[in-house]
Chains A and B, each alone.
Chain A
């Protein structure tokens, strides 16, 4: 008598195979994630500071100085923009990224032939629709033909291992970032109650699921540095058009119209220059100093080529 495959055996075998395949696939993806981000980023020592009274022109000049947008965005690429849009605040209050900057960058990427441009943020204030409308982000994205993703659901995150982390060893990162070809970090320059300043590397806290865990860990600043070492944006555009000087990160507080955009591929240099705009010595900001120590980038601005456009 030939042994027959029972229905139960068949079902359990196929479901086991399906589960293993899914697991294997996602594990493989996670491993590649840290490598794929910023894949065609340039290891450039150039830091561009654009005078941004005309934002669109400033963005154009900045990218031209860095070799053209084509060096960052290839035809058909999936581009993700990560502004700071976590708070229900209006543009001009300095708590969120200037929507005009988001619009200009999205348009430029589209012109370079991007397949799809997504604006992604893990919001803190609710409801998402109110926040995205108030910050001007949803209107800006619509004008530029980009879509907006409010990553407010745990299902939208995947685990990434950080083997080189000193405090942070793994993290749930937004799938939208991990699956992108190009990741452009677009922080706003503002003060912060815990980290003194919130610039590019701090802005990366908006792509993880559990922000609270960093706040209760042994060292918040080391977490920021660890994560910056693992997740490198293709380029960082620090929005210093309106800077928040007091009551950060949410405001409202005193603002200053600086009208500058700081663009670079070295996250540490961008943040270091951003610190000088506040009159602060970069090494005095814990997480910037720790990131430099971990080799994420260069904190000494005299070792970097600062180009004003």
Chain B
């Protein structure tokens, strides 16, 4: 019996493998299930009508932003950046942190949907590739993490650009969804409209940029397996820092012949030149080495003795400072960027900016700190009106959601966007409360309006306004439209239906955006400004 215990961690000693299914196989199954779950949650980020209340709700009761909530990097960055405790991110993120402390970077190896995507790309597209891996130093991701930490502390937000879950969600929304819908519609218009797709063909801005970034991340795998994970991913770095006490320890048994097969096969380059040693912070527990070893001497049990775990990170202090410095530089540049200043001022001053935030959005400063540009609200918006900002919100607001009324208005009886925002950049609101949320104000461009400049019988804006905010007066015998600023909430349905193209004759501008007021204050303002019919 004592003998058995002594050899417990060394299956290669003429001991038949008891397990029929290897841990590597289990890992692969779990990976497929995880990616499947991620894609399922993404697909059901769609609104349907609740037959009982007649209101729009998500088609599935599951939290569709589950992975975003559980991502500890997003949680940490959003909370530090906004200086606010965000309960939902904490409660979902803590289990992942606990998992990593206990078992190491199993999230990276078993659960991360981007990781699964990269593995799938490795197994298919990059199957026959480079004979020698060309990698970047694995420590680079820690310097990147340092940069992300610096920006978070300075309340700028860079994590959106670097977090794998945010990248994957956003890339699917901006670069995959609409083209996929176009292909499906070409085959069958019925299947390609409605259901899990938008009612009509969806369109997104910044689709090319999102696609390129996504393609580059996947394409880097042509240089080395899991290039992103090993060298660039700040989430991997964060989990690596937490993983040093992992209970899972890789053991290389006595029969090792130094053939180096495991070293070459290791997805993250965690195994050292001496194959008995490995970096704990780099290992993602894929169990590949256990299968690829010709002598079958490798195992990764819980609490194995005589493991070759190496816990040092050997980060260069100079490079860390570089990372911090780069992050700080970015934060300072972003916050002194003039366009951002204009965007921030847009709320409290009479602004001719066309920066319309989703309803329920926090005031601009907080919004920019909390929004991780995940794209969930852009996906769920039923009119396709929420789009990534390009220049409207300045440098810091790049790819945050803005309403583009010409693409889609903010429809009155809907509160889907706040249901899917993982960080609370869009605060919860009910459909009743929505009528007192002011996004901006519509302004008629009389030089373009065909009633004003050509005496045509249009008044479509008046027709479609849900808030009775357009009134008409006879001007030189022609019934002409005017906007009632106290009633107009800036939903943009007028701009969306105005027949003038490509720029409508009635457009929503930022002034009148009342995000700096509390909900109660907005309601009181609305009541105080009721004009009699």
A interface residues, Cβ below 8 angstroms from B: 88, 124-130, 132-134, 139, 150, 152-156, 192-195, 211-213, 215-221, 246-247, 249-250, 252
A156 to B383, CA, bound (A): 19
A125 to B200, CA, bound (A): 13
A218 to B463, CA, bound (A): 19
Are A152 and B411 in touch, CB under 8 angstroms?
A: no
Neighbouring A residues of B411 by C-beta, 8 Å: 88, 125-127, 130
Neighbouring A residues of B457 by C-beta, 8 Å: 194-195, 215, 219-221
Neighbouring A residues of B382 by C-beta, 8 Å: 126-127
Are A126 and B463 in touch, CB under 8 angstroms?
A: no
Neighbouring A residues of B47 by C-beta, 8 Å: 127, 129
A268 to B412, CA, bound (A): 35
Told that A127-B56, A215-B460, A250-B464 touch, could you supply 10 new A-B pairs with CB distance under 8 A? A125-B493, A126-B199, A134-B54, A134-B413, A139-B51, A194-B458, A215-B458, A216-B456, A219-B457, A220-B458
20 A-B residue contacts at CB 8 Å?
Answer: A88-B411, A88-B412, A126-B408, A127-B49, A127-B56, A127-B414, A129-B47, A130-B54, A152-B193, A153-B189, A155-B189, A193-B479, A194-B457, A194-B459, A212-B460, A215-B459, A221-B457, A246-B533, A249-B463, A250-B463
Neighbouring B residues of A134 by C-beta, 8 Å: 54, 413
Contact of B459 among A127, A152, A193 (CB under 8 A): A193
A192 to B479, CA, bound (A): 13
Chain A, residue nearest B456 (CB): A216
B198 shortest CB reach to chain A, Å: 9
Contact of B193 among A153, A215, A247 (CB under 8 A): A153
A126 to B47, CA, bound (A): 11
Chain A, residue nearest B48 (CB): A129
B interface residues, Cβ below 8 angstroms from A: 47-49, 51, 54-56, 185, 189, 193-194, 199-201, 382-383, 408-409, 411-414, 450, 456-460, 462-466, 468, 472, 479, 493, 497-500, 533
Contact of B463 among A88, A154, A194 (CB under 8 A): A194
A128 to B382, CA, bound (A): 9
A-B pairs with lowest CB-CB distance, top 6: A212-B499, A127-B382, A129-B49, A220-B457, A215-B458, A133-B49
Are B54 and A213 in touch, CB under 8 angstroms?
A: no
A133 to B50, CA, bound (A): 9
A80 shortest CB reach to chain B, Å: 17
B258 shortest CB reach to chain A, Å: 58
Contact of A153 among B55, B200, B456 (CB under 8 A): B200
Are B466 and A125 in touch, CB under 8 angstroms?
A: yes
A154 to B472, CA, bound (A): 32
A220 to B455, CA, bound (A): 12
Chain A, residue nearest B431 (CB): A130
Chain A, residue nearest B385 (CB): A126
Are A125 and B412 in touch, CB under 8 angstroms?
A: yes
Chain A, residue nearest B464 (CB): A124
A196 shortest CB reach to chain B, Å: 11
A118 to B256, CA, bound (A): 74
A150 to B190, CA, bound (A): 11
Neighbouring B residues of A126 by C-beta, 8 Å: 199, 382-383, 408-409, 411
Are B189 and A130 in touch, CB under 8 angstroms?
A: no
